[in-house]
Structure 1
């Protein structure tokens, strides 16, 4: 029978904790930058500028219909052929931002289009500027509507970030692979990695739920 031995894991726990921190940092940076790309892409896609809408459509369709692994390989191995070289960590961040930006664009676009046209007309009647209408009348209600879908996509991004270990980017999966090569305790290493990714996902879910209560809670009626 198999004899479980977690001692090598405990002896090298700092490796996994450091890898977990790098995964959290990489994921947070990708979420923030990806949200910016998503908002800009959604605004462009719902605008009346046809060439801009066409460019965003091409970007979204290319990213959504190609494997994330191929996107990473293209950025890290393909772009240097035309003089654009990046470190593994930078390439991983760019790939994650590009990927989540495409999916986020469609999510936010759906939220924007769910806003009744009457609300926008009311904003114009109140002499609000286009930027004020976009910020207060369109984006905030849209974000409230699509917040669960958007945060689910962000959690999926954090889990997907494990793929970046294939280009030697520093993250939890890469630390686990290094520890496995060092200890040969494959079962124990990947069992602990599974638990750690689960805890990270649960932690992000709790933080997103707290943000939703603070940012999108309605004032109590009197």
Structure 2
């Protein structure tokens, strides 16, 4: 059996792949930022003294973590359409990905909160720090620092999972690949190239998170261990 690989027709369409890769990064970046905000608020909510807030946050986390991402995308896509709300495929994809990663980020950040010793907070109170200072310097930043590797890995996985948004015609990398392979009949070569591009995108995101970790966490900057 001879394997005849021909990347010529595939590489001729490199602008399409570049556009798809850029859109994939845009989706992942937007969902990462908004998902991180939801994760912080959700983690705070799950530790709230108000049982209603705790229950609402718990239902959100469990509902998202126990249903497939593709089903969630369809629910957002068709749900908004049924309400008469029309958004672009990119906006719907970004919203669905944000809702999804927000639930996972909530649990990861909550684990970071739980790792902060109570004595550390009491010591800060003894130094007469304000509640805002205590929460920011003693709870939030140290908690995120402890779970930063797990959090960034989840965001990279989100970027890879964004491939399923091609099902609602979001023109990200996998959607471009589907079009190219149907046009060139070179499916194997197309998806080899796409796999390589996803690896490069993962490395770009990891590098970005590493640099961000160095900027945010001074101790990690000194140790050169941002991830």
TM-score, normalization by structure 1: 0.95
Query: What SS is found at the alignment partner of 1:27?
Result: helix
What is the alpha-carbon distance in structure 1 between the residues aligned to residue 167 and residue 92 of structure 2?
11
Residue aligning to 2:214? 213
| 1:43-54 correspondence runs (5 A) | 43-54=44-55
1:105 aligns with 2:103: no
Aligned residues: CA RMSD: 1.6
1:194 aligns with 2:201: no
User: What are the superposed Cα offsets for residues 165-197 of structure 1, whole Å, 9 maximum, x if unpaired?
Assistant: 000012111111111122111111000000000
| 1:28-47 correspondence runs (5 A) | 28-47=29-48
What is the alpha-carbon distance in structure 2 between the residues aligned to residue 136 and residue 213 of structure 1?
17
How far has the Cα of 1:203 moved from its partner? 1.7
Query: What SS is found at the alignment partner of 1:86?
Result: coil
| 1:172-183 correspondence runs (5 A) | 172-183=173-184
How far has the Cα of 1:220 moved from its partner? 5.8
- Structure 2 residue ranges without an equivalent (≥5): none
Q: What is the number of equivalent residue pairs in this alignment?
A: 221
What is the alpha-carbon distance in structure 2 between the residues aligned to residue 25 and residue 80 of structure 1?
23
- Structure 1 residue ranges without an equivalent (≥5): none
- Kept in 2: contact 1:76–1:85 (CA 8 A): no
Moved over 4 A (4+): none
TM-score, normalization by structure 2: 0.93
What is the alpha-carbon distance in structure 1 between the residues aligned to residue 197 and residue 116 of structure 2?
39
User: What are the superposed Cα offsets for residues 5-45 of structure 1, whole Å, 9 maximum, x if unpaired?
Assistant: 11111211000011000101111011001000000100111
- Kept in 2: contact 1:63–1:102 (CA 8 A): yes
